[in-house]
Chain A
Amino acid sequence: MLKSPNIASKARLWVFYVFVVLVHFLIVARFFKIQILDNEKYTKRAQSNYVRALSLPAPRGLILDRNGKIIVDNYPTYVLYAIGAEIKNKNKNYAIISKTTGIDTSILIKNYKNNYRSRFLPTRIAKDLTIEQLSKLEEEKNNLSGIIYKQFPERIYHPKVKATHALGYLKEVDQSMIDNLKTAKYSYGDLVGWAGIEKQYESSLRGEKGVSYYQVDAFGREAGPVETYSDLLSQPGGDINTTIDLDLQLLVEDIYKDKKGAVIVSKPNTGEVLVYVSSPDYNPDLFTGLVSSADWQTVVSDPNRPLLNRASNGLYPPGSIYKMIVAIELLEKKLIDKNWTSFCKGEYEFYDRAHKCWDKNGHGTVNVESAIAQSCDVFFYEAIQKVRLDELEKRSMDFSHGVPTNIDLPSEMKGKVPNRKYMNKLHGRYGWSTGAMLNISIGQGEILVTPIQMAAYTNILATRGVSKNLHLVKPKNPHTDKSILVSSKTWDIIHNSMREVVYGKKGTGKLSDPNIPGVIVSGKTGTAENPHGETHAWYIGFANYNNDDIISVVVLVENGGGGGSVASPIARKIFKKYNQNINYNIAIKQ
């Protein structure tokens, strides 16, 4: 019946037309809404879909010694990642990695679990891999699906010199640190200077991280760089030139290998610190590398407390090295003069108690110079009674006792110098008497100092009253430089006494004499009684090599014994080594 006529009406055709146009209009309107009106919203969404930012680590600045030798360097280590989605047999892979690198499987599993974010993102399972370990892994590459590595500039410390307490260490940033640091510059897994110079100079050492943009596909897999986003290269941190003398530092660290204590060698005229030793110390890698909890426990529970920075945070009674301050106070206030004498019979009776001199045979008749040279206690027991405690406190503070040295390190203790108020508080208003002063006169009792304070003190003595801000890199606060007003007559007496300590017949510091023609050493020994056992051996002194070339030395051997017998010889070695270096440098110049 093909001949049945076409009976469609024009009106109905128009209904069709209108309907079709309406449908198309509806679709166009919808696309207009999405593509034009909501374009911005969807553009943002599209970008967040595929653009990922990867931060590029900035190599930290190097830490150099005063002659430009590298103390802390960066070393390319390798970080191992696992991509969950691409690993065929996780246990087998871990077994191979463990076998070739020696990293325990349990550590790999733990790291994977801790760092895991997505099946498709690389998850860090090991770090600090050496090139040797990596090349071994490379041989097994075919069996290691989904394992990749990336280079990372890891901190590496001088193989011999530790100087840990001065240099400090880095710590991996964790969530609590991000909250505390309150700066967007750090993110999880970054390294931040956590002690010492690394912390103090963090802002210049750190550099600026770079950002590399890359795109990911719908499965989170890397799909090349993003053309519209250019990478921001990382800015390496600035190098730090320290004042440390690597040779001297090495020598002292070597001496202190099995000793406890601290040594500070510095230049009184500038405040530069040449040697900063606090022993025992620890390996700075402890905090950045793969720390096993066993290693950590060993360090933390070590009775020798290697984590304690003895030089700046260790508190010790100064013992006899304090005596110069008492002498200066006596002389300056004209309570005694050069000829004022005391008779030492080995002990001093004060009311019902006998205060002993260190030499029970007694020193006979001593004046201020011989009392310092022989470190006679009785002289000071007697003379101190003329001194007012609060005046002595002021004098002590002039000489860096009980006040921070402002060395450029993140922390230091300010020690303790007693005054009347403090004594009253400690012992009660009538609980103490002039008898307590007798102890203080020989640097015992309530008075506590840090070795770094003693270095500042020694420098003031060496420069006849010029106080320079001690520093490892640069003065933290140059305004703390000051001159201490002491008459030159008094200075002469003090310097004479201190030379007598080294060169006098009965000088206690004779063993510190380096016996170098033209080099004059002034010193003072101390043997500090303490409740922790054997006495602490102190030596402070300075050697004049040339007109301006003076170095000061502070030696503390914790529970080492006598200052004269134990600390002085260490100082001598330092004086000698420094002389060698001078000659060496002269030779080089010629």
Chain B
Amino acid sequence: MNIDVSRVIKSSPYSILLIVFCILILGLISLFSVAESRSLGDSNAFLRQIIFLGPAVLLMFLFMIIPKKLIHEYVYIFYGVIILFVMLPYFSAQVADTHRWIDIGLPFSLQPSEIAKLVIILTLARYLSDRKIELDHFGAILIPFIIAFIPALIVLNQPDLGTAIVMMSPVIPMLYWVGARPFHLFLVIAPLLSIVTAFDVSVFTSWSLVMALIIFLSKPQLWNGIAIFFFNIFLGLIFPLFWNGFLRPYHRNRILTSINPELDPLGSGYQVIQSKTALGSGGFFGKGWGEGTQTQLKFLPVQESDFIVSVIGEELGFLAILFMLTLFLYLILKILYLAFHSSDRFSGLVLIGISTIFLSHVFVNCSMASGMIPVKGLPLPFVSYGGSFLLSSFIMIGIAINFSREENY
């Protein structure tokens, strides 16, 4: 296997690297501001991020040139291994009362679940491109769900709801990409929506009507249609019981305070209020770099990772937020574009998966910081401090560049 490095460099989409570089700089600027305010002893997120950048960029270049074939061939083995790794934290010391981290004897810990996201995408891509799947049959789309669901379930129990959701997020886009019938995907999503809407009678009623309409327009067999409809109604009715009986109060709180953060100003709602206060007081131009009172005086919680966007919003203003989101939009659209133009189905699917991961991180992180959705500990790609996710983000960029090249095998 000989790698023609010069050809690799020549044919890579550099705009992606440029975009990533810009986002990265924005993140480092904010991290530096946060680090400045940490007076004593605390870990310096800025420095650690810098230290992590070295291996991350190295890995990106490595994945830019690794032969696609190699990855394609061993992906199922990776999948097996990563499931083992995801389970590993159960056997090591707990960090922050959860099982997310593995202590690898280095000054940093690694989160295998971050790498798992990528492996799930690769596995799904391999599965969906491997055979001529009869996607017309509903049963055929169940396997991809199971592929993502196994690691997601393990992560969910750690407990890390955010990561679990991100792990599940590529499945539907990837299925849709390879031609799954929208109605089948609807059948999968419908129960979820039935559950979510079950908490409000009027919302649930409108959802039922929409559902009935979709089922009617899709013209399934009569009894199937009726069965699907009533199964969903039944789910919506039974779920509130499950909610009160089975969910951890910690999850319940997170979801509830998102609906009304003022309910619980010192619990998880406190974080949202402080984050919104930081963002809102930033205004259009921000208070100036290092001048954010909410940031510098520590009113803003977990500011170096989950709420880094609030630091940017407070100190650099809406303008910077707009700039950052434009960069992300461009990055994601670019990856989608590359997916469409990739030479084979496997590559296209992987690129779709990667863009989904980035999109869900951006969406969840920003919506959480602005109080649109419950507080979920999800980092913002290339901006938030967090070694494992930074590594996996760069690896994904490496793979995206790698897989978008025209190659002849």
Q: B-contacting residues of A (Cβ < 8 Å)?
A: 1-10, 12-13, 15-17, 20-21, 23-24, 26-28, 30-32, 34-36, 38-39, 41-43, 45-47, 49-50, 215-219, 223
- Min Cβ gap B36→A in Å is 14
Q: Which residues of B contact A6 (CB under 8 A)?
A: 340, 342-345, 347-348
| A6-B347, A6-B348 known; A45 vs B277 contact (CB < 8 Å) | yes
15 additional A-B pairs beyond A16-B336, A21-B329, A46-B294, beta carbons within 8 Å, are A2-B69, A4-B344, A5-B344, A6-B348, A7-B178, A8-B178, A23-B359, A23-B362, A27-B363, A30-B370, A31-B321, A42-B281, A45-B280, A46-B299, A50-B294
A selection of 18 A-B contacts at a CB cut-off of 8 Å is A1-B130, A2-B409, A4-B129, A6-B343, A6-B344, A6-B345, A7-B178, A16-B173, A23-B362, A30-B370, A31-B325, A34-B280, A43-B283, A45-B277, A45-B281, A46-B277, A46-B278, A46-B299
- B344 near A218: Cβ-Cβ < 8 Å: no
Which 10 residue pairs are nearest across A and B when measured between Cβ atoms?
A42-B280, A46-B281, A35-B318, A218-B298, A217-B297, A4-B345, A43-B281, A218-B299, A42-B281, A24-B329
Q: At the interface, yes or no: B248 with Cβ under 8 Å from chain A?
A: no
- A13 near B340: Cβ-Cβ < 8 Å: yes
- B177 near A8: Cβ-Cβ < 8 Å: yes
| Binary per-residue interface labels of chain B (173-196) against chain A in the complex, 1 for a CB within 8 Å, 0 otherwise | 100111100000000000000000
Q: Which residues of A contact B130 (CB under 8 A)?
A: 1, 4
CB-contacts of B310-368 with A (<8 A): 313, 317-318, 321-322, 325, 328-329, 332-333, 336-337, 339-340, 342-348, 352, 355, 359, 362-363, 366-367
Closest residue of chain B to A43 (Cβ to Cβ) is B281
- A39 near B178: Cβ-Cβ < 8 Å: no
Option from A21, A28, A49 in Cβ contact (under 8 Å) with B299: A49
Q: Which residues of B contact A30 (CB under 8 A)?
A: 366-367, 370, 372
Q: Which residues of A contact B179 (CB under 8 A)?
A: 7, 9, 12
Q: At the interface, yes or no: B117 with Cβ under 8 Å from chain A?
A: no
- Min Cβ gap B299→A in Å is 5
Q: Which residues of B contact A215 (CB under 8 A)?
A: 293, 297
| A13-B340, A43-B280 known; A36 vs B318 contact (CB < 8 Å) | yes
- A34 near B370: Cβ-Cβ < 8 Å: yes
| A12-B177, A17-B333 known; A35 vs B280 contact (CB < 8 Å) | yes
- Min Cβ gap B313→A in Å is 6
- A31 near B299: Cβ-Cβ < 8 Å: no
- A35 near B279: Cβ-Cβ < 8 Å: yes
Q: Which residues of B contact A7 (CB under 8 A)?
A: 178-179, 345
Q: A-contacting residues of B (Cβ < 8 Å)?
A: 68-69, 72, 129-131, 173, 176-179, 274, 276-284, 293-294, 297-299, 313, 317-318, 321-322, 325, 328-329, 332-333, 336-337, 339-340, 342-348, 352, 355, 359, 362-363, 366-367, 370-372, 409
- Min Cβ gap A223→B in Å is 6
- A20 near B283: Cβ-Cβ < 8 Å: no
Closest residue of chain B to A37 (Cβ to Cβ) is B280
A21 to B328, CA, bound (A): 10
Option from B282, B297, B344, B352 in Cβ contact (under 8 Å) with A223: B297
- A10 near B340: Cβ-Cβ < 8 Å: yes
- B277 near A42: Cβ-Cβ < 8 Å: yes
Closest residue of chain A to B314 (Cβ to Cβ) is A46
- B345 near A5: Cβ-Cβ < 8 Å: yes
A41 to B342, CA, bound (A): 49
A5 to B336, CA, bound (A): 17
| A3-B344, A217-B298 known; A12 vs B176 contact (CB < 8 Å) | yes
- B333 near A20: Cβ-Cβ < 8 Å: yes
A86 to B387, CA, bound (A): 34
Q: Which residues of B contact A13 (CB under 8 A)?
A: 336-337, 339-340
Closest residue of chain A to B72 (Cβ to Cβ) is A2
A-B CB pair tally, cutoff 8 Å: 157
Option from A5, A28, A41 in Cβ contact (under 8 Å) with B322: A28
- A216 near B176: Cβ-Cβ < 8 Å: no
| A2-B72, A50-B299, A217-B298 known; A42 vs B340 contact (CB < 8 Å) | no
- Min Cβ gap B354→A in Å is 13
- B279 near A34: Cβ-Cβ < 8 Å: yes
A216 to B298, CA, bound (A): 10
A41 to B72, CA, bound (A): 54
- B298 near A219: Cβ-Cβ < 8 Å: yes
A5 to B371, CA, bound (A): 43
- B344 near A49: Cβ-Cβ < 8 Å: no
- A1 near B297: Cβ-Cβ < 8 Å: no
Option from A1, A26, A34, A50 in Cβ contact (under 8 Å) with B276: A34
| A27-B370, A39-B283, A42-B276 known; A32 vs B318 contact (CB < 8 Å) | yes
Closest residue of chain A to B273 (Cβ to Cβ) is A45
- A31 near B176: Cβ-Cβ < 8 Å: no
Q: Which residues of B contact A216 (CB under 8 A)?
A: 297
| A16-B173, A217-B298, A223-B297 known; A31 vs B346 contact (CB < 8 Å) | no
Most buried by B among A27, A47, A217, A218: A27
- Min Cβ gap B346→A in Å is 6
A9 to B176, CA, bound (A): 10
Q: Which residues of A contact B278 (CB under 8 A)?
A: 46
A511 to B337, CA, bound (A): 120
- Min Cβ gap B297→A in Å is 4
- B333 near A27: Cβ-Cβ < 8 Å: no
- Min Cβ gap A521→B in Å is 75
Closest residue of chain A to B317 (Cβ to Cβ) is A35
Option from B282, B328, B336, B344 in Cβ contact (under 8 Å) with A35: B282
- B280 near A24: Cβ-Cβ < 8 Å: no
Option from B178, B279, B337 in Cβ contact (under 8 Å) with A31: B279
- A2 near B340: Cβ-Cβ < 8 Å: no
- A50 near B293: Cβ-Cβ < 8 Å: yes
- A27 near B325: Cβ-Cβ < 8 Å: yes
Closest residue of chain A to B366 (Cβ to Cβ) is A27
Q: Which residues of A contact B340 (CB under 8 A)?
A: 6, 8, 10, 13
Q: Which residues of B contact A15 (CB under 8 A)?
A: 176
A405 to B68, CA, bound (A): 108
Q: Which residues of B contact A39 (CB under 8 A)?
A: 280-284
A2 to B342, CA, bound (A): 11
- A31 near B284: Cβ-Cβ < 8 Å: no
Most buried by A among B131, B173, B177, B367: B177
Q: Which residues of A contact B281 (CB under 8 A)?
A: 39, 42-43, 45-46
- Min Cβ gap B154→A in Å is 28
| A2-B72, A49-B277, A50-B293 known; A27 vs B362 contact (CB < 8 Å) | yes
Closest residue of chain A to B319 (Cβ to Cβ) is A35
A135 to B367, CA, bound (A): 56
A6 to B337, CA, bound (A): 13
A462 to B84, CA, bound (A): 112
- A2 near B280: Cβ-Cβ < 8 Å: no
- A46 near B325: Cβ-Cβ < 8 Å: no
A219 to B274, CA, bound (A): 13
| A46-B278, A49-B293 known; A8 vs B299 contact (CB < 8 Å) | no
- A1 near B131: Cβ-Cβ < 8 Å: yes
Closest residue of chain A to B328 (Cβ to Cβ) is A24
A361 to B33, CA, bound (A): 104
- B176 near A35: Cβ-Cβ < 8 Å: no
Closest residue of chain A to B126 (Cβ to Cβ) is A1
- B345 near A31: Cβ-Cβ < 8 Å: no
- Min Cβ gap A90→B in Å is 25
- A41 near B280: Cβ-Cβ < 8 Å: yes
A3 to B68, CA, bound (A): 12
Most buried by B among A5, A8, A49, A50: A8
Q: Which residues of A contact B352 (CB under 8 A)?
A: 16
- B293 near A20: Cβ-Cβ < 8 Å: no
- Min Cβ gap B37→A in Å is 9
Q: Which residues of A contact B370 (CB under 8 A)?
A: 27, 30-31, 34
Closest residue of chain A to B369 (Cβ to Cβ) is A31
